[in-house]
């Protein structure tokens, strides 16, 4: 019994080229003729022109606008600043041995991380434009840790602040680590009834300690 081929049945080789579809060819040619003329990219100004000292001020303002807390501390004063910020915290952990808190690493049990009050991580660099801090996988201890802790504290060298996201991407080495993220402020959502909820999907607060 002869059957007609279905509309989505495989076609013979060559039938999928533009020559096999006159209408498609005509449409593509019309699109090419109506193409928007090329124009130069806009110049990057504003934040990029700030002096180093002004970059710090802009970063602090941008981070605080995203509901983060920014504090300038001395390099050796990180632990004291953490305990002063959260005096009632029972479980405080860090992802590097530079600070004498509990240590979080890829082998740490997830249930343990879920009980964290405070997690302290070193940030790679900050972005003055939006107050974000780049956090590579090696600085997280575990990918889950920055999302499970109640409060996240990032320690950032104040000289490691770039002007904008253009400079940030120039600095990123995506081949160095398999995972990373920009952190800007605590977890926030307003999906439900347009009511702002803090901490629904991650930390309830973000503190950036500039050293």
| Residue 11 DSSP SS3 | coil
Give me the pLDDT at residue 191, please. 81
Extents of the domains making up the chain: 48-210
Give me the pLDDT at residue 199, please. 81
Whether the Cβ atoms of residue 50 and residue 58 lie closer than 8 Å to each other: yes
Residue found under tokens 């997690």: 119
List beta partners, residue 119: 93, 152
Give me the pLDDT at residue 48, please. 80
Instruction: Please give the CATH number for the structural domain made up of 48-210.
Output: 3.40.50.10420
Between CA 118 and CA 116 the distance in angstroms is 6
Report long-range pairs for 104-108 (Cβ below 8 Å, ≥24 apart). 104/141, 104/142, 104/145, 105/141, 105/142, 106/141, 106/142, 108/141, 108/142, 108/145
Give me the pLDDT at residue 14, please. 47
- List the chain residues with pLDDT less than 50: 12-16, 18
Whether the Cβ atoms of residue 18 and residue 28 lie closer than 8 Å to each other: yes
Residue found under tokens 């107050």: 131
Give me the pLDDT at residue 4, please. 56
Give me the pLDDT at residue 44, please. 75
Between CA 126 and CA 185 the distance in angstroms is 12
Give me the pLDDT at residue 13, please. 47
Between CA 183 and CA 140 the distance in angstroms is 12
- Residue 11 makes CB contacts below 8 A (sequence gap 6+) with 20
For the record, the structure tokens of 199 come out as 């901490």
| Residue 96 DSSP SS3 | coil
């Amino acid at each position: 019994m002869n059957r007609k081929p279905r509309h989505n049945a495989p076609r013979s080789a060559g039938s999928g080229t533009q020559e096999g579809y006159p209408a498609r060819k005509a449409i593509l040619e019309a699109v090419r003729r109506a193409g928007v003329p090329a124009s130069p990219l806009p110049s990057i100004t504003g934040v990029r022109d700030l002096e180093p000292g002004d970059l710090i001020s802009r970063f602090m303002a941008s981070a605080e606008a995203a509901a983060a807390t920014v504090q300038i501390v001395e390099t050796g004063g990180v632990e004291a600043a953490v305990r002063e910020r959260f005096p009632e915290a029972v479980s405080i952990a860090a992802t590097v041995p530079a600070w004498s808190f509990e240590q979080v690493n890829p082998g740490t049990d997830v249930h343990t991380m879920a009980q964290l009050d405070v997690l302290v991580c070193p940030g790679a660099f900050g972005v003055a434009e939006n107050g974000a801090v780049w956090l590579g996988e090696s600085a997280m201890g575990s990918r889950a840790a920055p999302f499970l802790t109640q409060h996240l504290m990032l320690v950032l060298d104040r000289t490691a602040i770039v002007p904008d996201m253009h400079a940030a991407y120039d600095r990123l080495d995506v081949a160095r680590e398999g995972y990373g993220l920009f952190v800007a402020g605590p977890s926030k959502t307003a999906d439900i009834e347009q009511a702002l909820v803090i901490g629904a999907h991650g930390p309830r607060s973000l503190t950036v300690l500039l050293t």
